A and B are shown apart, each in its own frame.
Chain A
Amino acid sequence: MAQLLQHLINGLAAGTIYALVALGYTMVYGVLKLINFAHGDVMMVGVYMGYATAFAIGREARGSFLGIAAVFAVAMLGCALFGFLIERFAYRPLREKPRLTALITAIGISFALSYGFQLDIGFLPGASPRAFPEIIEPTEWLIIGDRDVVVWNWQVISFLIAVGLMVGLQYLVFGTRFGRAMRAVSWDHRVAALMGIPTDRVIALTFMLSSGLAAGAGLLYAIKDTSVSPLMGLYVGLKAFVAAVIGGIGHVPGAVVGALVLGLVEEFVVGYAASTWRDAVAFGFLILVLLVKPGGLFGRVAAEKV
């Protein structure tokens, strides 16, 4: 029972991080109908920005609240800018081209980033994973029984940050003018443009938002894993994508639910079966969901019209 509870906590902690990344996929898919394959790698770039900041501000500062805030702020803003640049120079010129063109571009960017960062030329970090500085000193926040269940402080903090970001996002999408514009573009971007919505700006902002969220999520993941590596984006990104599809891609709360489910499933497989199978689980689960409920848990399979 205690073991079950522990797995539940770990699974939820992992799930919230996937959720933040999955939201990025879902938002971009919502406005552009593009699977932003490079999303995970943009996240990885953000994590390296945070890593560099944590070293730049020094050992003392990075333990303080302001230090942590600075690391997150630099990573998220820097990554938002990076996302904007990718959208502006790689995706926007292809917007009216066949969808496959944009998908191939996204795959190319993903590949260039994840393998480009493995070189050790100039400022590029090289292939080997690096220890991520402990900007949050790990301590046990709650212990139940004879260490039957342990909740770490970073689990609580990342859960709170993730929930905070999600609530903020929910407000942004459903409570602001920008959110309304975003939903309009997602509904039909041509009609939205006719109604006077600056679609280019909305799409660019959506990209910045999703990249910023991804950087935040990536930092939380790096804190949990205590390491950064050029390939982390590929794996976290893929799992988050799986989560978004499980929830029904394009559906915001669906992405969160999908991510939590995926986090739990993975944790239970590691806990009760074998940890070596962990990376295969997400995809097996994906194929299963596609077989049984092709639109995901919440999505509908919309008929494509001409």
Chain B
Amino acid sequence: MQSPALPVPEAPSLVPPALRGILPLLIAIPTLALFHWSLTGSDFATYLLSVVGVNIILAVSLNIVNGMTGQFSIGHAGFMAVGAYIAGYTSLQLKEVALSFLPVSASDQVLFMLALLVGGVAAALCGFLVGLPSLRLRGDYLAIVTLGFGEIIRVFVQNTDAFGRALGLSGIPQYSSPGMVYFWVFLVVLAARRLAGSSHGRSLWAIREDEVAAEAMGVDTTGYKVRAFVFSSFFAGIAGGLFAHFVPIINPGSFTFVRSMEIVVMVVLGGLGSTTGAVVAAIFLTLLPEGMRSLFGALGTEGSLAQRVDQIRMPIYGLLLVVLMLSRPQGLFGTKELWDVLPRWLPRKRRGLA
């Protein structure tokens, strides 16, 4: 695998140094607010936007482990489930509570944030518990152990009354909104990009390229791997919490191995190690089935094919992984980011003139 492009020294920036750290926030928060208030689309559009956002969070967070660190987790849905159930349960318990010094909607959002964080921390804790034994060993073990962890979570939920067993949890207050989802999308992308360029991130890249060499250079490989894993599980938990607050019901069927595989396919397709690649692939793969469904629907192939999209999608994902590995193992972007790739598609005229 090629090593990531080292950051090129940047041209002197127009932004004063004092603002540079919080610049992304200064741009993102008004944009998100505008986005939130201008969104008056149908319920389905809102729902689809939220699903896309949740998938982006999942893909970007998984990319930290699978892409940057070169480990291979295939149980991301398990952490999502932990976040969804814990956050959903917290919200259900706090349903009657309201913070008296705030208006109702604001109080709801504060409690929602609290529930999300509780879910995220619970998922991170699970990530720590699972990661510690398996990350001490060779990377392949992690794949199986994370898969097993997902199964354990599913069985645990199915046997616990508080989580509604196989029926799932319903009646979770619908606090979530695309604005909130994309706030977290923004946070995870920012965190992942910052991580990739930091010295901590450099250690992760080193582990990915050659674990033995990284260790010889004094990188505490287990420590870094476990931290990356915990970080990634935290965001998976957040994604689960968000998900739990805009779907009518969560049940063990929403967090199966299939879900984990979807996220893996997103990360591999986008390019292991590319944050924007994960974002693009997540958007593409989430909208593709919807597009196919409406296409088949419009073509008038009476229901059958349109309904089958979900069924056919699974084996195609599997084949896609095989074909990608054989023909383009680095995925769409490799370890590059969107902005490294884009100019190549544009006409090269300007360079010729100069």
Binding site for B on A (CB under 8 A): 35, 37, 90, 93-94, 97-105, 107-113, 115-116, 118-119, 234, 238, 241-242, 245, 274, 276-277, 279-280, 282-284, 286-287, 290-291, 294, 301, 304-306
**Which chain B residue shows the least CB distance to A29?**
B140
Q: With contacts A100-B70, A241-B144 known, is A112 near B326, CB below 8 A?
A: no
Q: Is B173 among interface residues, defined by CB-CB distance under 8 A?
A: no
Name the one of B133, B155, B212 contacting A276, with C-beta atoms under 8 angstroms.
Answer: B155
Alpha-carbon distance between A284 and B133 when the two chains are bound, in angstroms: 12
Q: Is B284 among interface residues, defined by CB-CB distance under 8 A?
A: no
Name the one of A93, A111, A118, A279 contacting B317, with C-beta atoms under 8 angstroms.
Answer: A111
Across the interface, which residues of A come within 8 angstroms of B311, CB to CB?
118-119
Alpha-carbon distance between A238 and B130 when the two chains are bound, in angstroms: 17
Q: Looking at the complex, which of B48-56, B91-99, B145-153 is the stretch in contact with chain A?
A: B145-153
Q: Are B318 and A35 in touch, CB under 8 angstroms?
A: no
Alpha-carbon distance between A253 and B204 when the two chains are bound, in angstroms: 37
Q: Is B325 among interface residues, defined by CB-CB distance under 8 A?
A: yes
The smallest beta-carbon distance between A27 and chain B, in angstroms, is: 16
Q: Are A290 and B137 in touch, CB under 8 angstroms?
A: yes
Alpha-carbon distance between A2 and B288 when the two chains are bound, in angstroms: 58
Across the interface, which residues of A come within 8 angstroms of B132, CB to CB?
291
Q: Is B312 among interface residues, defined by CB-CB distance under 8 A?
A: yes
Q: With contacts A109-B322, A294-B133 known, is A100 near B139, CB below 8 A?
A: yes
Alpha-carbon distance between A242 and B147 when the two chains are bound, in angstroms: 11
Q: With contacts A101-B325, A279-B155, A294-B137 known, is A286 near B317, CB below 8 A?
A: no
Across the interface, which residues of B come within 8 angstroms of A113, CB to CB?
318
Q: Nearest 9 A-B pairs (CB), nearest first? A: A108-B321, A112-B318, A283-B148, A111-B318, A115-B314, A116-B315, A280-B155, A108-B322, A290-B133
The smallest beta-carbon distance between A102 and chain B, in angstroms, is: 8
Alpha-carbon distance between A113 and B311 when the two chains are bound, in angstroms: 13
Across the interface, which residues of A come within 8 angstroms of B321, CB to CB?
104-105, 107-108, 111-112
Q: Are A103 and B72 in touch, CB under 8 angstroms?
A: yes
Across the interface, which residues of A come within 8 angstroms of B141, CB to CB?
245, 290
Across the interface, which residues of B come within 8 angstroms of A37, CB to CB?
143
Across the interface, which residues of A come within 8 angstroms of B145, CB to CB?
283, 286-287, 290
**19 other A-B residue contacts (CB within 8 Å) besides A286-B144, A291-B132:** A35-B144, A37-B143, A100-B72, A102-B325, A104-B268, A104-B324, A105-B321, A107-B261, A107-B318, A108-B325, A109-B322, A115-B314, A116-B315, A119-B311, A276-B155, A279-B155, A290-B134, A291-B133, A294-B133
Q: With contacts A290-B133, A294-B133, A294-B137 known, is A109 near B318, CB below 8 A?
A: yes
Q: Is B207 among interface residues, defined by CB-CB distance under 8 A?
A: no
* Best-buried of B74, B149, B155, B158 by chain A (most CB within 10 Å): B155
Name the one of A105, A277, A283 contacting B159, with C-beta atoms under 8 angstroms.
Answer: A277
Name the one of B74, B138, B151, B317 contacting A283, with C-beta atoms under 8 angstroms.
Answer: B151
* Best-buried of B72, B148, B149, B268 by chain A (most CB within 10 Å): B148
Q: Are B318 and A280 in touch, CB under 8 angstroms?
A: no
Alpha-carbon distance between A155 and B152 when the two chains are bound, in angstroms: 29
Alpha-carbon distance between A118 and B211 when the two chains are bound, in angstroms: 39
Q: Are A107 and B152 in touch, CB under 8 angstroms?
A: no
Across the interface, which residues of A come within 8 angstroms of B168, CB to CB?
none
Q: Are A104 and B159 in touch, CB under 8 angstroms?
A: no
Alpha-carbon distance between A32 and B145 when the two chains are bound, in angstroms: 21
Q: Are B144 and A276 in touch, CB under 8 angstroms?
A: no
Number of A-B contacts (CB under 8 A): 131
Q: Which residues of chain B from 282 to 336 have a CB within 8 Å of any chain A CB?
A: 311-312, 314-315, 317-322, 324-326, 329
Q: Is B191 among interface residues, defined by CB-CB distance under 8 A?
A: no
Alpha-carbon distance between A208 and B319 when the two chains are bound, in angstroms: 22
Chain B interface secondary structure, helix, strand, loop or mixed? Answer: helix
Q: Are A279 and B212 in touch, CB under 8 angstroms?
A: no
**Which chain A residue shows the least CB distance to B156?**
A280
Across the interface, which residues of A come within 8 angstroms of B257, CB to CB?
234
Alpha-carbon distance between A113 and B148 when the two chains are bound, in angstroms: 20
The smallest beta-carbon distance between B269 and chain A, in angstroms, is: 11
Across the interface, which residues of B come within 8 angstroms of A98, CB to CB?
1
Across the interface, which residues of B come within 8 angstroms of A99, CB to CB?
139-140
Alpha-carbon distance between A277 and B154 when the two chains are bound, in angstroms: 10
Across the interface, which residues of A come within 8 angstroms of B138, CB to CB?
304
The smallest beta-carbon distance between B179 and chain A, in angstroms, is: 35
Can you sample 7 A-B contacts with CB below 8 Å? A37-B143, A100-B272, A104-B324, A105-B325, A118-B311, A241-B144, A242-B144
The smallest beta-carbon distance between A86 and chain B, in angstroms, is: 10
Q: Are A97 and B329 in touch, CB under 8 angstroms?
A: yes
Alpha-carbon distance between A38 and B188 when the two chains are bound, in angstroms: 33
Q: Are A105 and B322 in touch, CB under 8 angstroms?
A: yes
Q: Are B261 and A111 in touch, CB under 8 angstroms?
A: yes
**Which chain B residue shows the least CB distance to A124?**
B315
Across the interface, which residues of B come within 8 angstroms of A279, CB to CB?
151, 155
Q: Is B264 among interface residues, defined by CB-CB distance under 8 A?
A: yes
Q: Is B33 among interface residues, defined by CB-CB distance under 8 A?
A: no
Alpha-carbon distance between A112 and B317 when the two chains are bound, in angstroms: 7
Q: With contacts A109-B322, A112-B322 known, is A287 near B155, CB below 8 A?
A: no
Alpha-carbon distance between A241 and B141 when the two chains are bound, in angstroms: 10
The smallest beta-carbon distance between A288 and chain B, in angstroms, is: 9
Name the one of A35, A112, A274, A280 contacting B140, with C-beta atoms under 8 angstroms.
Answer: A35
Alpha-carbon distance between A3 and B272 when the two chains are bound, in angstroms: 52
Across the interface, which residues of B come within 8 angstroms of A291, CB to CB?
132-133
Name the one of A94, A101, A280, A294 contacting B151, with C-beta atoms under 8 angstroms.
Answer: A280
**Which chain A residue shows the least CB distance to B215?**
A304
Q: Are A283 and B139 in touch, CB under 8 angstroms?
A: no
Q: Is B36 among interface residues, defined by CB-CB distance under 8 A?
A: no
Alpha-carbon distance between A116 and B313 when the two chains are bound, in angstroms: 9
The smallest beta-carbon distance between A81 and chain B, in angstroms, is: 19
Across the interface, which residues of A come within 8 angstroms of B114, CB to CB?
none
The smallest beta-carbon distance between A93 and chain B, in angstroms, is: 6
